């Protein structure tokens, strides 16, 4: 019989969707049985007590967690998030219930052996419950006690050859899409740069000195599979600056129905014959595509890299060959100020090791934000407070029309006197000689 009655949580097991309650109950039953004779280093009833305390909170409508603390591993200012229960007598299994964030491998590639050993470690020294993956991308190990933190850290660094991830006012664990390892749309090697930046900015990951959190995310193309445009302070979105490559024979094959559109996705019902006009050309956001007879034409200068045509006809249309990425700054979720999407600050930059121009820009971004950012202010809010024009000037970046949605909608750049021939002084007679009225 369950240690705590959980009628409210049981409701969450009804319905067709997966339930975290069922998962926790399964782990609770597994720990109670302990078929592998694990010498649990934290209370065996941790999962039972977790269900109990959550049920109590649902019942009362208030939390029984105390969040935060000094817990961590020696020398690190991140990677461990302290959590305690304020009802330790009633729920001793979760009196300490700290979270550990573990740096995930780039592209989330694991061997089954790695995962099995990680799960074994966490059954032994933690609750056995994980979150694969947290919104930062980390492997999240949920629930352990203070004495286990150093033990787990030692295992992770010595046996698993990985490290803790970021938390608090640190650089957060960089994350990337799986990029060139499996995706033909990748415009740069996201895994390589993600791994490199994780190492280069290691000290910012573990030793907090920022006003608040800072996230890098690397998307190989504008499909944005890791949602960098919405979730990262500095977003890297793969792009090409030449032309989309067209295989006209394959275009004809799509039109003729020999190749299924969208890589064969959405095939569970009959959508009718593929209509290139309706499904591709009319949906182009910049209207830069048209058919001339049976030949597809694209005015690439107008293309805004929305990816729709390439996603729909991947065998006919391919990304260009002059590839790099755009950099967008300041996306964030709504904590202090409202939610923001990233603002384009570099329309195109090559992404090639050793990434020197990118490092130079990052150094400027960090320096300025650490100097001028207010406590708990994200870099996007600092940029907004100073204004885009001023911020670009400080970053030594040239304003570019691509940074705004449309001309004259946002007078974000003002001329300075030294930039105008003749400055602000003018002779009205001279002006009137050309403008009588």
Least CB distance to another protein at residue 124 (A) = 25
Count of alpha carbons within 13 Å of 64, Cβ hemisphere only? Answer: 24
Give the DSSP letter of residue 348: E
Verify binding: residue 80, another protein, rule CB under 8 A: yes
Distance CA 49, CA 4 (A): 7
Which of 212, 216, 218, 240: binder of another protein (CB under 8 A)?
212
Which of 210, 216, 254, 355: binder of another protein (CB under 8 A)?
210
Verify binding: residue 207, another protein, rule CB under 8 A: yes
Distance CA 205, CA 209 (A): 10
* Contact string 48-77 vs another protein (x = CB under 8 A): ------------------xxxxxxx-xx-x
Radius of gyration of the chain (CA): 27
Distance CA 226, CA 163 (A): 21
91 versus 274: smaller Cβ distance to another protein: 91
Least CB distance to another protein at residue 153 (A) = 15
Which of 64, 125, 213, 217: binder of another protein (CB under 8 A)?
213
The residues, ordered by sequence, that sit 6+ positions from 179 with a Cβ below 8 Å of its Cβ are 107, 186, 188, 189, 190, 191, 218, 220
Binding residues for another protein restricted to 372-431, rule: CB under 8 A = 373-376
Which one of 4-12, 26-34, 200-208, 338-346 is the stretch in contact with another protein (CB under 8 A)?
A: 200-208
Binding residues for another protein restricted to 322-351, rule: CB under 8 A = 335
Number of residues engaging another protein in binding (CB under 8 A): 36
246 versus 370: smaller Cβ distance to another protein: 370
Give the DSSP letter of residue 214: B
Give the C-alpha distances (Å, rounded to integers) separating 221 from 236, 276, 342, 344, 373: 9, 23, 15, 15, 30
Which of 6, 99, 175, 235: binder of another protein (CB under 8 A)?
99
Distance CA 259, CA 198 (A): 41
Distance CA 107, CA 9 (A): 34
Give the DSSP letter of residue 393: H
Positions that interact with another protein (CB under 8 A): 66-72, 74-75, 77-78, 80-82, 84, 99, 167-170, 203, 207-213, 335, 367, 370-371, 373-376
């Amino acid at each position: 019989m369950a240690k705590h009655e959980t009628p409210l949580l049981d409701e969450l097991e009804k319905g067709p969707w997966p339930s975290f309650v069922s998962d926790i109950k399964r782990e609770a039953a597994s720990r109670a049985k302990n078929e592998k004779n694990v010498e649990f280093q934290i209370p065996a009833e941790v999962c039972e007590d977790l269900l109990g305390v959550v049920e109590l909170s649902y019942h009362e409508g208030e939390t029984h967690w105390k969040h935060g603390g000094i817990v961590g591993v020696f020398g690190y200012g991140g990677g461990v998030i302290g959590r305690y229960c304020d009802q330790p007598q009633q729920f001793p299994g979760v009196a300490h219930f700290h979270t550990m964030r573990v740096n995930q491998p780039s592209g989330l590639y694991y061997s089954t052996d790695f995962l099995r050993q990680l799960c074994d470690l966490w059954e032994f020294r933690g609750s056995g419950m994980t979150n694969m993956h947290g919104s930062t991308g980390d492997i999240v190990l949920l629930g352990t006690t203070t004495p286990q933190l150093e033990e787990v850290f030692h295992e992770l660094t010595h046996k698993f050859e990985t490290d803790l991830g970021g938390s608090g006012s640190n650089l957060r664990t960089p994350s990337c899409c799986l990029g060139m390892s499996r995706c033909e749309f990748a415009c740069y090697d996201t895994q390589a740069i993600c791994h490199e930046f994780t190492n280069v900015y290691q000290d910012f990951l573990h030793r907090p000195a920022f006003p608040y959190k800072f996230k890098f995310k690397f998307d190989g193309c504008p499909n944005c599979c890791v949602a960098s445009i919405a979730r990262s302070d500095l977003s890297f979105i793969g792009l090409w600056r030449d032309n989309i490559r067209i295989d006209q024979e394959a275009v004809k094959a799509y039109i003729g129905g020999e190749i299924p559109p969208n890589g064969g996705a959405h095939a569970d019902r009959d959508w009718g014959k593929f209509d290139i006009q309706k499904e591709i050309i009319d949906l182009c956001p910049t209207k830069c595509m048209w058919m001339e007879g049976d030949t597809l034409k694209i005015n690439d200068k107008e293309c805004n890299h929305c990816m729709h045509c390439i996603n729909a006809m991947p065998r006919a249309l391919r990304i260009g060959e002059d590839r790099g990425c755009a950099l967008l700054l300041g996306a964030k979720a709504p904590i202090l100020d409202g939610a923001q999407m990233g603002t384009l600050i570099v329309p195109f930059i090559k992404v090639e090791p050793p990434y020197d121009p990118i490092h130079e820009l990052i150094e400027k971004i960090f320096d300025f934000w650490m100097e001028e950012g207010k406590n708990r202010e994200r870099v996007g809010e600092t940029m907004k407070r100073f204004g885009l024009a001023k911020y670009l000037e400080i970053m030594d970046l040239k304003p570019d029309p691509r940074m705004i949605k449309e001309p004259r909608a946002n007078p974000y750049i003002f001329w300075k006197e030294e930039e105008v021939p003749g400055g602000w002084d003018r002779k009205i007679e001279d002006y009137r000689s050309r403008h009588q009225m």
